[in-house]
Structure 1
Amino acid sequence: MKNFLHQGDCLPFLESLPAARVDALITDPPYASGGLHIGSKNRSTSEKYQNNDTVRKYPEFTGDHRDQRAHLRWMTLWLSECLRVMKDGAPICLFTDWRQLPLTTDALQVAGFTWRGIAVWDKGEGVRPQMGRFRNQAEYIVWGSKGDMPLARDVGVLRGVYKEVVKQKDKFHITGKPTDLMRDLIKICTPGGLILDPFAGSGSTLLAAELEGYDWLGCELSEEYKTIALERLAQEH
């Protein structure tokens, strides 16, 4: 199975996949970090993440309300299934923010992956400035591999810091990542390999894979976002 986007919960989908099939896992799961207390965490995703000056309104997404213990348990469940479906030595990249950075590194290792480092996405200086505070202008990519990761793979040296601003014409999800960012990031996968994204959202990872000549496999819980992702992919054909 390749170049297929499933609509539904990622756990049953991952359980249905054969073992040792995937060459790289690159995904942007819900962070569950929009608020420090249960009341703020349970707000809608548009309330938590959509700026008031944003013209476009995006569909809501689920799974962003868990407390720390529930989020760690959930991350470990699906990451353990991802470990099974990945080939030995395959890389994994997980987006996260500053609040969930420690938890994400824990979940990666609890699931059985080897943690190898953190890359940075610099979103630029226009992101939510607050007087007297450091700008929250970065998000993070926790990365590792399934066991040993040979240096002899046909992959060059990748950047440790990616500077890409979010452009409205390229934004189709409340927390969507720039396509150009994903086109660079997925190059950690061996050329022509199969890239898995269990949280496809508006399809940025899948589109980047398509544009760069990789095969892809995705899952998205929201029917609205699945439709958006497929429309974006169709425009490339």
Structure 2
Amino acid sequence: MIQKEFNESNKLTLFNGDCSKLLKTIPSNSVDLIITSPPYCIGKAYEDPSDDIETFKKQHEDIFVDLYRVLKTGGSICWQVGYHVSDQCVIPLDYIVYDIFTSKSAGFENPLILRNRIIWTFGHGLNSTKRFSGRHEIILWFTKGEQSVFNLDDVRVPQKYPGKKSYKGPNKGNLSGNPLGKNPSDVWDIPNVKAMHVEKTDHPCQFPVAIPQRLIRALTAPNGLILDPFMGSGTTGVAAYIENRRFVGAEILKKYYDIAIDRLEETVCGNIKIREDKPVAEPNTNTAVAKLPDEFAKARGKIL
């Protein structure tokens, strides 16, 4: 099931090596969605101690042309980054990614277009003593030209007051919100993978399955091809397989590549443990306005 060399018919391809080598083997205009979280060059265990902000820039400049080449016209790139932190200052890495991805794509027939700058917020993390503690990171969603897919109904989240109705105007007495749920907006409150999180592995900077899972549902069709050039512990691959998409990913360090292999094998066997993509705080179902009306039940197909 899990292949080491890329072929478009593969369900899962995991490559142990530099992503630039993997990218050369992927045909042009074949990938539906690229999702990743690259190294921030801030001295993590998997980074070279000499890496700095210039290293981060060069890494992105070196692979951008191939990222653009393999992505289908109308396809999406979702790049999740935080901050390069030093004793002197913090540098927002999304600014750097945006500059590289948009300036270098300017001469192409279908330039990259930024569709959303999504804020991923989480309640827990390292506590700072000389600045406010960081509790968010950024996901930049680009499309190659005009977007081809956006499945909003597949990623709607519960209404805060699901039974609320309009009290005046032409829609008086009718439901004021979509019975399938609301647009999740560009601020996502999803717990990060720390301590006792059910998805935790030995990778120090692991993002939750819910992030790529939501993006895959919204931005691709079943059997689409998902690429993660910095796959780490294989989180994007787990999400892709669960959502019936094909996956190809690269990880340069054998330690984390082996973790990704183990997690994908567990996923294929149906034994993987993940936190479902659900609100941190559920809507209050005890209030009168939140009682589920017949209209909502019918929309969800829960009554005859």
Of 239, 244, 264, which residue of structure 2 is paired with 1:208?
239
The alpha-carbon distance between structure 1 residues 107 and 188, as it changes in their structure 2 partners (threshold 3 A), is: farther
Pairing 1:198–2:229 present: yes
**Counterpart mapping for 1:39-188 below 5 A:** 43=43, 45=44, 60-62=45-47, 65-98=50-83, 99=91, 100-112=93-105, 113-124=112-123, 126-130=124-128, 133-150=131-148, 153=149, 155-156=151-152, 159-165=185-191, 166-167=193-194, 168=196, 169-172=198-201, 173-188=203-218
Output the aligned Cα RMSD.
2.0
Alpha-carbon deviation of 1:95? 0.9
- Richer in helix (by share): 1
Structure 2 contact 150–218 (Cα < 8 Å) conserved = no
User: Quick one: which amino acid aligns to residue 118 of structure 2?
Assistant: A
Alpha-carbon deviation of 1:132? 7.1
Gaps of 5+ in 1: 35-42, 46-59
Greater shift after overlay, 69-78 or 173-182?
69-78
Q: Secondary structure at the match of 1:93?
A: strand
Which TM-score applies when normalising by structure 1?
A: 0.81
Q: CA offsets, 1:125-161, max 9 Å, x none?
A: x3223357433100111120112214xx352155412
- Give aligned-pair identity as a percent: 29
Tell me which structure has the larger Cα radius of gyration. Answer: 2
Q: Which has the higher contact order (CA 8 A, sep 6+)?
A: 1
Alpha-carbon deviation of 1:234? 0.8
How many pairs were matched up? 210
Which TM-score applies when normalising by structure 2?
A: 0.64
Of 31, 47, 61, which residue of structure 2 is paired with 1:22?
31
Structure 2 contact 40–81 (Cα < 8 Å) conserved = yes
Q: CA offsets, 1:140-188, max 9 Å, x none?
A: 11120112214xx352155412212124331221110012232223223
Q: CA offsets, 1:84-122, max 9 Å, x none?
A: 011001010011114212111112213422223310111
Gaps of 5+ in 2: 1-6, 84-90, 106-111, 153-182, 270-304
